């Protein structure tokens, strides 16, 4: 499963939507859903929010260089 694209500058961004449903007095996490890009992530979060008690949408960008990994 591809979750992000490696850009020319060596960076890689992952977009994720995480829904939560009510279970008893707490929340239970659904399986995370992978989005293709920022716009898809927003649309997917809006769709999930219509049927869940909570939703989180986020992205993470990492820069790859030979032999190291740094996050920004």
pLDDT of residue 12: 83
Q: How confident is the model at residue 63 (pLDDT cuts 50, 70, 90)?
A: confident
pLDDT > 70? residue 1: no
Tokens standing for 26? 């707490």
Q: What angle do CA 52, 54, 56 make, to 5 degrees?
A: 120
pLDDT of residue 68: 61
More confident residue, 69 or 32: 32
Q: In this structure, what DSSP letter does residue 30 have?
A: P
pLDDT of residue 61: 87
Query: Over the stretch 14-27, which tens digit does the pLDDT of each residue have?
Result: 999 999 999 999 99
């Amino acid at each position: 499963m591809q979750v992000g694209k490696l850009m020319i500058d060596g960076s890689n961004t992952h977009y994720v939507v995480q829904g939560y449903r009510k279970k008893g007095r707490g929340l239970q996490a659904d399986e995370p859903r992978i989005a293709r890009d920022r716009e898809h992530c927003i649309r997917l979060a809006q769709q999930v929010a219509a049927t869940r008690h909570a939703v989180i949408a986020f992205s993470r960008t990492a820069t790859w260089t030979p032999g190291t990994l740094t996050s920004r």
